[in-house]
Amino acid sequence: MRINWQKLSFMTRLIGILILLVVLGFGAYQLYDYYRDKVGVTPTKTITAYFDALGQGNYAEVYRLTAKDSLTDIYGRPLTRDEFLEQLERVMGERQMPFTSVETFKLLDKQGSYYYVVKVHSAIGGPDRSSRLIIEVKREGQIWVVSYPFAIVL
């Protein structure tokens, strides 16, 4: 049995190149995955803007950053912008409650929606009170919007 060294050498190089391409592709995807949440208008920046607007009483911005399909009453009827703003004003009152910081931790992404654990810190109620929430963020047109759990339900 005669070994064709030239053919074996070609196959070895080809397999090596394929392995190298797979490793480079995996590395490029990991780099993309890391930076896509850090550059431009991102889900993390949307969540931070959402809670900043909520704490400062900027309800028009909260409405803009809320998924419109999440805005329903208990019967599933869509809320209008005015109804949403009125309900937020009733819930929050006239007081502003700015958060001292908003921390986000990505849980997972599934079918275009991103899920985050959000920890909001506030000085109201004592030294550095905090709450943790699970937030869903998804694209609506050209912007990211917060959907769950911020549908105003009466």
Ordered per-residue pLDDT tens for the chain, 154 residues: 677 888 889 999 999 999 999 999 999 988 887 776 666 678 888 999 998 888 888 888 989 999 888 888 778 888 889 988 888 888 777 677 778 888 888 888 888 888 888 888 887 766 667 788 888 999 888 888 998 555 433 2
**Residue 120: how many CB atoms within 10 A of its CB?**
21
Question: Residue 123 carries which side chain, given as an amino acid letter?
Answer: A
Both tokens of 72, joined, read: 């329903």
C-beta separation of 136 from 114 below 8 A: yes
Best CATH choice for the domain 43-146 from the list 3.30.70.600, 3.10.450.100, 3.90.180.10, 3.40.50.300: 3.10.450.100
> Cα separation of 71 and 83, whole Å?
10
What pLDDT, on the 0 to 100 scale, is given for residue 28? 93
CA distances from 111 to 9, 29, 71, 108, 144 (A): 44, 18, 21, 10, 14
pLDDT value of residue 14: 95
Cβ atoms of residues 54 and 122 within 8 Å: no
Take residue 152 and report the two structure tokens written for it.
């105003």
Position 125 scores a pLDDT of 63
CB 138 within 8 A of CB 128: no
DSSP state of 35: H
